Amino acid sequence: MKDTDQTIPRTLPIQSATFTNPINAEIRRAAATGIYDIRGGGAKRKVPHFDDLLFLGASVSRYPLEGYRERCETSVTLGTRFAKKPIELDIPITIAGMSFGALSGPAKEALGRGASMAGTSTTTGDGGMTPEERGHSSKLVYQYLPSRYGMNPNDLRKADAIEIVVGQGAKPGGGGMLLGQKISDRVAEMRTLPKGIDQRSACRHPDWTGPDDLEIKILELREITGWQVPIYVKVGATRPYYDTALAVKAGADVVVMDGMQGGTAATQDVFIEHVGIPTLACIRPAVQALQDLGVHREVQLVISGGIRTGADVAKAMALGADAVAIGTAALIALGDNDPKWEAEYQKLGTTTGAYDDWHEGKDPAGITTQNPELAARLDPVEAGRRLRNYLKVMTLEAQTIARACGHNHLHNLEPEDLCALTMEAAAMAKVPLAGTDWYPGKAVF
Amino acid sequence: MQTYDVAENGLRGLNAALQAQSDETNQTSWEVQNPKGSHAIAVGLDAPIEVTVKGSTGYYCAGMNQQATIRVEGSVGPGVAENMMSGTVVVEGDASQYAGATGHGGLLVIKGNASSRCGISMKGIDIVVHGNIGHMSAFMAQAGNLVVCGDAGDALGDSLYEARLFVRGSVKSLGADCIEKEMRPEHIEILTDLLERAGSDAKPEEFKRYGSARQLYNFDVDNAAAY
């Protein structure tokens, strides 16, 4: 029988691992629009993370604490180095900086309410401090950003701490972005900008350029605030050892290190996915810098970027952090990307869990918007309660793990409590690969 | 007249004393002696007092000033009157980089020259420079008036928003989206007032006005080369 076209075996269609469907779609989108893709959130690519670590728990050589009866403390004090009034928190989980402008007024209020009920701090963002935010936040950290939008000495003195933002994990080396759809009358007035413009914040501070200048800037801020409140320095994770060391040299009370999974309100996708290093990779070098300078625990380290659970909190602290900060997770707790809005996400061409066009101001959940009708969907009291609950659960989870490892304070967690599931995680966290006593880079002698 | 010797008594005591003054204070006149280039002199003031600094200062002199009138009988380092909200700062000598950076209000007068990035990101402050200014001045300037009686360096007003720039001499080059604009009567009026308050005898008619072309306010791929 003669083979016909129908009977000859054919190769299956093979999709390129390089030119994937998402990549091709992006090429077509770029060709059609002439603008890079802008979105919110942090890196979505898979990178080594806390999921690649495990706790060892108690064994013959260590005994655990009774899970529900023996105390496991969770408090933390930030800013003990120079500030007359350090911040005392009940839990080591803080709310990261997110601006009014990027977020709606009710969302900012909910963050303040939830954080205050849980005994922790929340943080302003690009655009200044609103009276509502100050009023609903028992402990408020005031960000000092390159743009200086809304910056004024009166608000500076109302803050419980000042956070000098050098960079953030989603876009180290990049400035803020708030597109015209979200520049409402109030946002425009707070930022001294024309309504409706695409606002691009500066990527570096206007009046200092290096660590020596930063030291003098910190001196000025301390002089203006009477040396009362702690001064944090926040950096996007890139060169964590040197950035931490330089922040300490410049006089920081607290170093905040934000990994690439940390979110942003809006930035180019190419920036989010291709600049910076994973959160897991930045902790040990930062801790090492503090230890080499003899200030570990005297200068506190706050880690952020992809913190989701009490296990993440415990792992960050076991690696040497004093506290963590959450942003994206807090928004989800408020109601971001909730399945109840699926029909509306579909209309926006996306789906629950993937919605990241926060810059467009069309958020069905009423969180990342300045549209009054959408913003009214979020009840700040109820959303604040959800955030409080979530923070409580994270704390309970971290305590559960700490007790299982035999610790009566979350700060007593240590690298020796951990092992790694992958070579990459072992190398980054400098904890042994599970079942071994070795990690890449460890001397074998 | 209250006097304070910085070299003898330290910076903290100076700022604490000046910051402690209220609207009702009767200690309205202060003299700061021996600044010797110290940083952060007279920062965070918020009272209608007059402070004279007898010598040159370092970084951030008069930072975040409110209400006070601060006169420096010397030159100033980077960031003089940064983020000023109100009041007046007068520098008899020259100013280093970032003079008046991010200032929201008040009047900054520099009798000499100002270095690069003068008026960077200004948000409502008025700045009058009797001499010249350096490159990248008024970068991303949002609001307020920058008056230059001498020449301006490269890239004046790059990525400008709504600030008004007045230059009497030459401009080496304009930054992205900054253009020369018509000098209308209301601008002559603004300029006349500022020159008078700054003690300059320059004539408003000798100046040219520069402002934003507003072409970069919303993204347009045809302007991609300017981003």
Q: What is the pTM of this model?
A: 0.96
A220/B40 CB distance under 8 A: yes
Report DSSP letters for A308-334, one per residue: -SHHHHHHHHHTT-SEEEESHHHHHHH
CB-based contact A264:A306 (threshold 8 Å): no
State how far Cα A400 lies from the chain centre. Answer: 23
- Whether residues A220 and B224 touch (CB distance < 8 A) is answered with no
* pLDDT score recorded for residue A291: 98
For chains A and B, count residue pairs whose Cβ atoms are closer than 8 Å. 97
pLDDT above 70: percentage of residues in chain A: 98
* pLDDT tens digits along A186-198: 888 888 888 888 8
DSSP letter at A406 equals T
Average pLDDT, chain A: 95
Q: Which residues of A, range 167-196, sit inside 8 Å of B by Cβ?
A: 180, 191-194, 196
Radius of gyration of chain A (CA): 23
- pLDDT of A69 reads 84
Q: What is the dihedral of CA B46, B138, B114, B202, to 10 degrees?
A: -90
* Chain B residue numbers touching A33 (CB-CB < 8 A): 221
Q: Is the pLDDT of residue A1 over 60?
A: no
Q: What is the number of domains present in chain A?
A: 1
Residue A130 lies in a domain: yes
CA distance B129 to B157: 15
A21 lies in a domain? no
Contacts of A194 in chain B (CB under 8 A): 161-162, 217
Per-residue pLDDT of chain B (227 residues; tens, 9 = 90+): 999 999 999 999 999 999 999 999 999 999 999 999 999 999 999 999 999 999 999 999 999 999 999 999 999 999 999 999 999 999 999 999 999 999 999 999 999 999 999 999 999 999 999 999 999 999 999 999 999 999 999 999 999 999 999 999 999 999 999 999 999 999 999 999 999 999 999 999 999 999 999 998 887 777 766 66
Q: Which domain holds residue A122?
A: 48-429
**Residue A34 forms part of a structural domain:** no
Q: Shortest CB distance from B64 goes to which of A33, A153, A206?
A: A153
Give domain B2-221's CATH architecture.
3 Solenoid (2.160)
Pick A151's closest partner by Cβ from B83, B142, B219.
Answer: B83
For A127, the token pair is 């655009």
pLDDT in tens, A344-382: 999 999 999 999 999 999 999 999 999 999 999 999 999
DSSP string, A224-292: HTTT-S-EEEEEESSSHHHHHHHHHHHT-SEEEEE-TT--EEEEEHHHHHHSS--HHHHHHHHHHHHHH
| Distance, CA of A124 to CA of A144 (rounded, Å) | 9
Q: What is the ipTM of this complex?
A: 0.96
Q: Per residue in A221-275, pLDDT tens?
A: 999 999 999 999 999 999 999 999 999 999 999 999 999 999 999 999 999 999 9
Mean pLDDT, range A80-90, rounded to an integer? 97
Per-window interface: A 193-252 vs B, CB < 8 A = 193-194, 196-198, 202, 206-208, 213, 216-217, 219-220, 223-227
Which residue has 């970032």 as its token pair? B98
Q: Among residues B143, B133, B148, B144, which one has the least CA distance to residue B208?
A: B148
C-alpha span between A122 and A384 (Å, rounded)? 12
Asked whether residue A445 is assigned to any structural domain, the reply reads no
Q: Kindly state the average pLDDT of the residues A199-214.
A: 92
Contact B83 A219 (CB under 8 A): no
In percent, the amount of chain B with pLDDT more than 90 equals 94
Looking at the DSSP assignment, which residues form a beta bridge with residue B79? none
> pLDDT for B103-119, tens place per residue?
999 999 999 999 999 99
Q: Please, which residues bridge with residue A307 across strands?
A: none
The amino acid sitting at B188 is I
Q: Please tell me the distance from the alpha carbon of residue A336 to that of residue A342, in angstroms, as a whole number.
A: 11
Asked if the model's pLDDT at residue A199 lies above 70, the reply is: yes
Q: How far apart are CA A84 and CA A404, in angstroms?
A: 36
Interface membership of B221 toward A (CB under 8 Å): yes
Measured from the Cβ of residue A421, the count of other Cβ atoms closer than 10 Å reads 14
Helix (H) or strand (E) holding A222: helix A211-224
Give the CATH number, domain containing residue A109: 3.20.20.70
pLDDT per residue over B70-83, tens digit each?
999 999 999 999 99
Report d(CA A340, CA A310) in Å as an integer.
25
List chain A residues with CB under 8 Å of B12. Answer: 223, 227
